[in-house]
Amino acid sequence: MPKKYIAGLAVVAATALALTGCGGGAASTSSSSGGAGGGTVTLEFAQWWEPELPAGALRSIMDDFEAKNAGIKVKLISGPYAATKQTVVAAAASGTMSDVVGLDGAWVSDFVKQGALANVSQLMSDAKYDDSQLAAQIKLNGNTYMIPVANFVYPLFVNTDLLTKAGVTSVPTTRTEFTAAATALTKLGNNTSGWVLPLSTENPNGIQNDVMSWVWASGASMLKDGKPDVTNSDVKSAATYIKSLYDAKVISPGSFTMQEQDKVNEFTNGRVGMMIDSLAHVGLIRKNNPNLKFAVAAIPAVDGFSGQRGLPYASWGIGIAANSKHQPEAFKLVQYLMSQDVNAKISSLAHGFPGNKTSTPDYVSSDAIYKAAFDIYKSGTPANEFTGLPVAEQLMRDFDDQFQLYLDGKQSVDDALTKAQAAWVKDFAG
């Protein structure tokens, strides 16, 4: 899970009420007519980041922006992730969204349909901004609406002690090597499993993080021209590969009801040798089992693959409101946050990876796990095709329903993918 979910739920209701009271949108936040007469423009910036960063850190960054951009002030509208989501969703529907907004990729499609987000591609063009420095952009219909500021990646975690005990001399880099390692780990006995696969339909993000990640790792896609394409040969290859692991009984028992936290617990307690998980859980794993020796690596690709490997991720994204009367000034703030040094600072404070390709967070030089993950990140490409899709969670659940039946031997892979494709087409149309 990305850091955004750490926010304390106990204060969600109170914070949401407070935010709703001040979420009047750009039209009510300017202290002048927008700078045309030399006055000051005040931008609202709604996000969940400030509570998750060290106290005063985001305000300090805004102060520096203001010092370098005379005539522009920034008012931070901050709260936990859940409260921010509630407020931003309501503001999008009413046309009162803050000038600049922190975004989750899962919100983007609905906001674009509502006409709530500005076309950032046009703003970049107007500002003659070089977008080649951006690690990723979230696009719909060829236009950018969200830019990831900090990315929280999902590499392969391996228990190095268990690998050594099982006689595995190197971390697997291909599917064949992964199967061999998972088999050797399972043969250790004592209820040890090679891999863990959470597929609970209650929270179906295992389809994103633990299933489709095998597709993206080999540079492939579950989409074609932005539309569902889960019957293609690459998705089928990943599905049949996971089925082979399931049939070989090298996956931890209970997949169909297991959720992400269960997966992390199994790995932390030393019952599973390998898992795909968020880098944000490194601190939690270390806290709960200080003696556990583990490493991270790229997700194994199909044998013979030599291209850039996709690495699943979640982001702190940023966008600009369509209702903002100060979009050029708002883009100046976005441009500042994505600049090399500032983006490195934000990602360092958040223990995430930068959205600017040229930025390097300072913590990666002092921690072997983070350094290895950063090297993987730099050599690959961020990949999460659910970002920006309509009803992303429902898409995962639709696929999950059919995938479980396939793993359980109750239907063929072709039937499972055909039914999932039909459900996705319906979801997209809806």
Q: pLDDT, tens digit, for every residue of 202-231? A: 888 899 999 999 999 999 999 999 899 999
pTM of the complete model beyond 0.85: no
**Cβ–Cβ contacts within 10 Å for residue 17, how many?**
13
Topology classification of domain 3-151+315-376: D-Maltodextrin-Binding Protein; domain 2 (3.40.190)
Cα–chain center distance at 50: 18
User: Cα–Cα distances in Å, from 335 out to 65, 122, 131, 247, 338?
Assistant: 10, 14, 10, 50, 5
CATH (residue range 156-311+390-429): 3.40.190.10
Tell me the two tokens of residue 242.
């996971």
Q: Which two tokens stand for residue 228?
A: 């569902």
The arithmetic mean of pLDDT across residues 411-422, rounded, is 98
Q: Matching CATH topology for 3-151+315-376 and 156-311+390-429? A: yes
Other Cβ atoms less than 10 A from the Cβ of 283: the count is 10
Q: What is the mean pLDDT of residues 142-149?
A: 95
Tally the C-alpha atoms within 13 A of residue 80's C-alpha that lie toward its C-beta: 15
Stretch 292-314: mean pLDDT, rounded?
Answer: 94
Q: How large is the average pLDDT for residues 329-347?
A: 97
Name which of 94, 87, 117, 96 is nearest 105 in CA terms.
117
Nearest CA among 80, 91, 10 for reference residue 44: 91
Are the C-beta atoms of 118 and 318 separated by less than 8 Å?
no
Residues 6+ apart with CB under 8 A from 247: none
pLDDT tops 60 at residue 20: no
Highest-pLDDT range among 66-75, 136-145, 146-155, 389-398: 66-75
pLDDT of residue 40 exceeding 70, the answer is yes
Instruction: Indicate if the pLDDT at residue 76 is higher than 70.
Output: yes
Read off φ and ψ for residue 320, nearest 5 degrees: -125, 140
- Helical axes 413-429 vs 392-407, angle rounded to 10°: 170
**Alpha-carbon gap, residue 12 to 8, rounded angstroms:** 7
- Residue range 281-292: mean pLDDT, rounded: 92
For the chain, the domains span: 3-151+315-376, 156-311+390-429
The chain-wide mean pLDDT, for the chain, equals 89
Whether residue 338 contacts residue 355, with contact meaning beta carbons closer than 8 Å, is answered with yes
Q: How far apart are CA 377 and CA 135, in angstroms?
A: 10
Map residue 285 onto helix, strand or coil.
Answer: helix
Identify the pLDDT of residue 12: 32
